[in-house]
């Protein structure tokens, strides 16, 4: 199933984000006009619709906003990962993203816990996973 894993296909707009991860850097867009942090990568700020966004490196640190322990694969492509620790992380900048927690037992997951990034190589892509900080 590993080879069937769905991987992100960067778009012209999101390429800096994925390239950053490949270099073990978490980069986010920030709006020059309203200072909002923007995730996922966009052409325009979702706070004020300004097109003036600047890529900035951040720590990637954050907290666990929510999680679930999928006891059955959410899709057959994830059958090898059961139980899947599907999580939502809120980065220190306030934006949220989907991820996977590793290096932690399901019972040890606590909403609000501090987490830090793990650059997870999946086939040709680097995904942003997290582990306890």
> Which residues of this protein are in contact with Zn ion, per CB under 5 A?
31, 33-34, 36, 45, 47-48, 50
Residue reference for tokens 């980065």: 91
118 alpha carbon, distance to own chain's centre: 10
Task: Figure out which of the listed residues 43, 56, 106, 116 binds other proteins, where binding follows CB under 8 A.
Answer: 106
Which one of 21-29, 49-57, 59-67 is the stretch in contact with other proteins (CB under 8 A)? 59-67
Tell me the closest approach of the beta carbon of residue 124 to other proteins, in angstroms.
12
- With CB cut-offs between 5 and 8 Å by kind, which of Zn ion, other proteins, none does residue 112 bind? other proteins
Name the strand (E) or helix (H) holding 90. strand 84-91
CB-nearer residue toward other proteins: 22 or 111: 111
Contact 84, 100 (CB under 8 A): yes
- With CB cut-offs between 5 and 8 Å by kind, which of Zn ion, other proteins, none does residue 126 bind? none
Give the helix, strand, coil percentages of the chain, each rounded to 5.
15, 40, 45
Instruction: Give the residue among 49, 50, 57, 30 at the shortest CA–CA distance from 41.
Output: 30
Alpha carbons 115 and 67: distance in angstroms, whole number: 13
Which one of 20-28, 29-37, 51-59, 62-70 is the stretch in contact with other proteins (CB under 8 A)? 62-70
Which one of 23-31, 49-57, 92-100 is the stretch in contact with other proteins (CB under 8 A)? 92-100
């Amino acid at each position: 199933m590993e080879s069937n894993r769905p991987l992100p296909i960067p778009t012209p707009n999101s390429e800096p984000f994925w390239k950053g991860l490949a270099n073990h850097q978490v980069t986010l867009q920030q709006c020059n006009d309203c200072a909002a942090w923007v995730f996922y990568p966009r052409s325009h700020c979702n706070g004020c619709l300004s097109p003036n966004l600047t890529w900035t490196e951040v720590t990637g640190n954050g907290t666990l906003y929510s999680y679930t322990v999928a006891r059955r694969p959410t899709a057959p492509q994830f059958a090898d990962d059961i139980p899947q620790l599907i999580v939502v992380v809120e980065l220190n900048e306030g934006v949220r993203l989907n991820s996977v927690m590793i290096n932690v037992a399901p019972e040890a997951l606590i909403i609000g816990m501090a987490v830090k990034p793990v650059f997870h190589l999946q086939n040709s892509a680097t995904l942003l996973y997290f582990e306890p900080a």
